[in-house]
A and B are shown apart, each in its own frame.
Chain A
Amino acid sequence: MSISTIQNLLVTGLLRGGLYALMAIGLALVFGVMNICHFAHGEYYAIGAYAAYFAFAVWGLNPILAILIAALISFLAGAITEKALFYPLRKLSKGPWVMNAFLLTAGLSTVLQSGFQLGFGMQYLGITQYWNATVKVFGMNIAADRVVAFGIALVSIAGMWLFLHRTRTGRAIRAVSQDERGAQLVGIDLDWIQTLTFSVGSMLAGIGGASLLSLNPAYPFSGSAPLISSWFVVTIAGLGNVEGAIVGGLLVGMFESVSYFLLGQGWQTVASLVLLILLLLFKPSGLFGTGIKSVWE
């Protein structure tokens, strides 16, 4: 393997990984704070993609503005979903929450996908590019869109980290994920934090869908692939672990681009699944998780 191939793999791995990390943080937050195994997360990615498509290609807005609008719309979609579905479930359900909430997300995913079909049809709504330019990285010409998408992912991740660690509301979100009762006792309103968390998680997915619109057009099922990848990331990193999701996202991106190169197209998914199975057998808590024992212990 020559130096330039390694650089090439590194760059494509990073670009992929940035998106995975962004999606996975949303999943990790929603699981950590609300105990929801979120299987409709991909649909918020699609909402972001649709919103950006309409804002950019139909209304002719500036790309950054289009992505911001997509972020806002996916945030609102998340807020509405939480208030309309998960909030009542939390108040009314006496059964096992994790299972009920999971089933609700699975149903929601189907409903939203059908909704997209109904509203926008089965066609791909894509754009060729946001920016007509290429950027040279390590001597490789990379479409500006990919680099900007990675930049947006990094900025969003850094912004999330600062929000969670440096602000009062961010600390409250972490507090709820660590001890709900403790959070109530210091005066944190669980309902508000849960709605906010779900909305922010959806927004991160929406930003992902919007910023990669030129590579993955909006389509009723366009959220499926990113959903599976981000689940892969959080399973590897340890469920509910935000920092782990960031590192895990970049790792998975690298792993996929390397196995794509070594094994050929189509095999990278097999390689990922083998890795996942091995991990679940030997370290089921994930690389950065604790507390779950493997079958051998």
Chain B
Amino acid sequence: MLEVKNLQAGYDRLQVLWDVSLSVTEGEFVALIGSNGAGKTTTLRAIAGLIKPKGGEVRFLGTNLSGVPAHLISRKGLSLVTEDLNLFEAMTVQENLLLGAYSRRDTKKIMGTLEYVLSLFPILSERKNQLAGTLSGGERRMLAIGRGLMSSPRMLMVDEPSLGLAPMMVVAVFEALKLLHEQGVTILLVEQNVNNTLHLADSAYVLEHGRIALQGASRDLLENKYLKETYLGRR
């Protein structure tokens, strides 16, 4: 579904990603893990068209995404939930969700998706008429993921959903992602929380200093000696 080949990307003269290749097939739950500054967020930004790749190729559903502006990539069904969420803070929860469905026209179907998202995150339906800026950290994450789902995307990319959340909320957000995956949504998850993520994802890529250092099925990676020592703190 998503094919990334030899992606080079960065900011101005600073190159962050070197030859990153990864692929996600339909219905799969793939994780991109790595420490701070490894280039995980940059990878997602380059895929979503928020920054222009310096080289390599990104293909989604068979079409080349290079040079395609971000809003058209989103309309193709590739939805990104960013680390800083980018919510519309002065609008209500409901307005945020409806804007998530901006590129869709069929009101009936949009309302169906809205109901589905609210059932996935019941707290959002309690907060429906509250301004997004007044929500707690966990609720804001849920709203951002909910908004990302409102376009009824073919694939969802989520950047560091556990960042800055209380452990209880981390569990809730991960549970929601698991449920989404079980319902057939293709997911690319970026996380620093390596242990939890590997228990959730089918397969994973480990990014180090802008290069893919390791890749494989999650259960194999959990047994990998290098990964255990470096990321899981076990011997």
Using CB atoms and an 8 Å cutoff, list the residues of chain A in contact with chain B: 168, 171-172, 174-175, 178-179, 181-190
Establish whether residues B103 and A185, one from each chain, have CB atoms under 8 Å apart when the complex forms.
no
Using Cβ atoms and an 8 Å threshold, which residues of chain B touch A187?
Answer: 71-72, 74-75, 102-103, 151
Q: In the complex, A190 Cα to B49 Cα: how many Å? A: 14
Establish whether residues B102 and A182, one from each chain, have CB atoms under 8 Å apart when the complex forms.
no
Q: In the complex, A188 Cα to B147 Cα: how many Å? A: 13
Chain A residue nearest to B148 (CB atoms) is A185
Using Cβ atoms and an 8 Å threshold, which residues of chain A touch B87?
Answer: 179, 182
**A56 CB, min distance to chain B CBs, angstroms:** 40
Establish whether residues B74 and A186, one from each chain, have CB atoms under 8 Å apart when the complex forms.
yes
Using Cβ atoms and an 8 Å threshold, which residues of chain B touch A188?
Answer: 71, 99, 102
The reply to whether the CB of B70 lies closer than 8 angstroms to some CB of chain A is yes
Establish whether residues B91 and A185, one from each chain, have CB atoms under 8 Å apart when the complex forms.
no
Q: In the complex, A4 Cα to B28 Cα: how many Å? A: 76
**A70 CB, min distance to chain B CBs, angstroms:** 32
- Report if A186-B147 is in contact (Cβ < 8 Å); known contacts: A175-B88, A175-B99, A178-B89: yes
Q: In the complex, A172 Cα to B71 Cα: how many Å? A: 12
Using Cβ atoms and an 8 Å threshold, which residues of chain B touch A186?
Answer: 71, 74, 99-103, 147, 150-151
15 A-B interface contacts by CB (under 8 A) = A174-B88, A174-B90, A174-B91, A175-B102, A178-B89, A178-B90, A179-B86, A181-B86, A182-B82, A183-B99, A184-B70, A185-B79, A185-B148, A186-B71, A186-B147
Q: In the complex, A279 Cα to B191 Cα: how many Å? A: 47
Q: In the complex, A181 Cα to B88 Cα: how many Å? A: 10
Q: Number of A-B pairs whose CB atoms are under 8 Å?
A: 72
**B69 CB, min distance to chain A CBs, angstroms:** 8
The reply to whether the CB of B213 lies closer than 8 angstroms to some CB of chain A is no
Using Cβ atoms and an 8 Å threshold, which residues of chain A touch B95?
Answer: 171
Using Cβ atoms and an 8 Å threshold, which residues of chain B touch A168?
Answer: 102
Q: In the complex, A179 Cα to B84 Cα: how many Å? A: 11
Q: In the complex, A188 Cα to B71 Cα: how many Å? A: 6
Chain A residue nearest to B150 (CB atoms) is A186
Using Cβ atoms and an 8 Å threshold, which residues of chain A touch B103?
Answer: 186-187
Using Cβ atoms and an 8 Å threshold, which residues of chain B touch A189?
Answer: 69, 71
- Report if A181-B71 is in contact (Cβ < 8 Å); known contacts: A171-B99, A172-B102, A175-B91: no
**B16 CB, min distance to chain A CBs, angstroms:** 18
Establish whether residues B88 and A185, one from each chain, have CB atoms under 8 Å apart when the complex forms.
no
Partner of A181 from B82, B100, B101, B148 at Cβ < 8 Å: B82
Q: In the complex, A178 Cα to B99 Cα: how many Å? A: 12
The reply to whether the CB of B80 lies closer than 8 angstroms to some CB of chain A is yes
**A288 CB, min distance to chain B CBs, angstroms:** 12
The reply to whether the CB of B217 lies closer than 8 angstroms to some CB of chain A is no
The reply to whether the CB of B50 lies closer than 8 angstroms to some CB of chain A is yes
Establish whether residues B90 and A185, one from each chain, have CB atoms under 8 Å apart when the complex forms.
no
**B155 CB, min distance to chain A CBs, angstroms:** 14
Establish whether residues A171 and B98, one from each chain, have CB atoms under 8 Å apart when the complex forms.
yes
Q: In the complex, A183 Cα to B72 Cα: how many Å? A: 12
Q: Most A CB atoms within 10 A — which of B48, B90, B101, B148?
A: B90
Taking A174-B91, A179-B86, A185-B48 as given, write out 10 further A-B residue pairs in contact, using a Cβ cutoff of 8 Å, ordered by the A residue number: A171-B102, A174-B88, A179-B87, A184-B69, A185-B74, A186-B103, A186-B151, A187-B71, A187-B72, A187-B103
Using Cβ atoms and an 8 Å threshold, which residues of chain A touch B80?
Answer: 185
Chain A residue nearest to B100 (CB atoms) is A186
Using Cβ atoms and an 8 Å threshold, which residues of chain B touch A185?
Answer: 48, 50, 70-71, 74, 79-80, 82, 86, 148
Q: In the complex, A266 Cα to B146 Cα: how many Å? A: 57
Using Cβ atoms and an 8 Å threshold, which residues of chain A touch B79?
Answer: 185
Chain B residue nearest to A174 (CB atoms) is B91
Using Cβ atoms and an 8 Å threshold, which residues of chain B touch A175?
Answer: 88, 91, 99, 102
**A172 CB, min distance to chain B CBs, angstroms:** 6
Establish whether residues B89 and A179, one from each chain, have CB atoms under 8 Å apart when the complex forms.
yes
Using Cβ atoms and an 8 Å threshold, which residues of chain A touch B89?
Answer: 178-179
